Structure 1
Amino acid sequence: MPQLALFQKRINEEIPLSQALGIRLRSWDGRALLLSAPLAPNRNHQGTGFGGSVYSAAVTAAWAVTELALADLGLRGAVVVQSGNIDYLEPVDRDFYVICRLPGGEIPDRFRKSLARHGKGRLDLTAEVFCGEPTTEPVAEPVAVFEGRFVVQDARSRVNL
């Protein structure tokens, strides 16, 4: 089973809310993650995206980027969100998707070094939410922008598990 399919299964099992929201991992190229969610199970009383659902999809994308970056380094650790903030810029009026990219398109050296030296590290990430058909090259502006800090503790080689 490909890495992304295995990770989708893990998310569904370990974060039940992700399945209820209909979150689907679409692509991971080692630099950016694309995930999507349907509006129907995530709508509010006005028929637009419920703020909590939009936030949950965005924080899931950023958490997943941290987990996938660790996996790409051959590591596994305890990943948690330390802080997060979202700006809602426009209503989510249809199915939506989230793109979260590694800063500068790569795993930051400071993060790598901290993991190697201390077995822990922090990663600041931005996840952008868009409406419409999922793509890694959106033409519209984001409808929401999440910024968060993720902490990794107890990073260790996946081989030793």
Structure 2
Amino acid sequence: MREIGQPYPRLPLPETAQAEDLDAFQDWLQQAIPLVAHLGLKRMTWQGDTLLWQLSLAPNLNDKGSGFGGSLAAQTTLIGWCWTTLWLRGQGRAQDVVVASAEQRYLAPVTGDYRLECRPATADAVDGLQARLAERGKGRLPLVQRLSVGDTCCLEAQGDYAILPLRD
């Protein structure tokens, strides 16, 4: 068992962004952040600049039989952290990522297995981040998340993710 305050070993960087094995990343993620193994994450894939997750509702039920808001908020925060971490890994950068701010808006109950999407908040967000990383070695990235059951959007979220130099 890992001690509190002890970082989990980093996953080696892929040779290229296209070489990232998302199954291996998901396995590592479940070890590095134990909560992930209990969130019902079935699969993650990329579609252009959007990270997609397929999730099971069963482990995220509330007392009413629909999605528990706390689980859904954790998932929106986590997918943003993953988007940022995977993007950095694809750039050959091993840096710390932390959530700086997060906000969710619940639109409809989650009543079945669902899809969670994450992408940059604006078309130029990644370019701005690249410039800040080149200049200062750190920066922030605004991302948006959308959770849907079928064609129904149930939750919209946004978050700012801070990219920091590695701590020794």
CA distance in 2, matches of 1:97, 1:58: 11
1:19 matched to which residue of 2?
37
- Range with bigger deviation, 116-125 or 2-11: 2-11
CA distance in 1, matches of 2:121, 2:77: 16
CA distance in 2, matches of 1:22, 1:76: 27
The one of the two structures with greater contact order (alpha-carbon pairs below 8 A, sep at least 6) is 1
Summarize the alignment of residues 74-93 of structure 1 with structure 2, pairs less than 5 Å apart.
Answer: 74-93=92-111
CA distance in 2, matches of 1:120, 1:127: 23
Summarize the alignment of residues 1-161 of structure 1 with structure 2, pairs less than 5 Å apart.
Answer: 3-29=21-47, 31-104=49-122, 108-132=126-150, 140-154=151-165
Q: Spell out, residue by residue over 1:60-105, the C-alpha distance to the aligned partner (whole angstroms, 9 max, x if none).
A: 1111110111112111110010000000000001111200113456
CA contact (8 A) 1:69 1:107 kept: no
Which residue identity does 1:34 align to in structure 2?
Answer: L
Which residue identity does 2:37 align to in structure 1?
Answer: Q
Question: What RMSD, in angstroms, separates the aligned Cα atoms of the two structures?
Answer: 1.8
- Range with bigger deviation, 145-154 or 93-102: 93-102
Q: Percent identity?
A: 34
- Range with bigger deviation, 60-69 or 24-33: 24-33
TM-score normalised by structure 2 residue count:
0.81
- Range with bigger deviation, 1-10 or 76-85: 1-10
Runs of 5+ in structure 1 lacking a partner?
A: 133-139, 156-161
CA distance in 2, matches of 1:141, 1:131: 5
CA deviation after TM superposition for structure 1 residue 26, in Å: 2.4
Once superposed, which parts of structure 1, at least 4 consecutive aligned residues long, lie more than 6 Å away?
none
Aligned positions, number: 148
TM-score normalised by structure 1 residue count:
0.84
Runs of 5+ in structure 2 lacking a partner?
A: 1-18
CA distance in 2, matches of 1:62, 1:26: 13
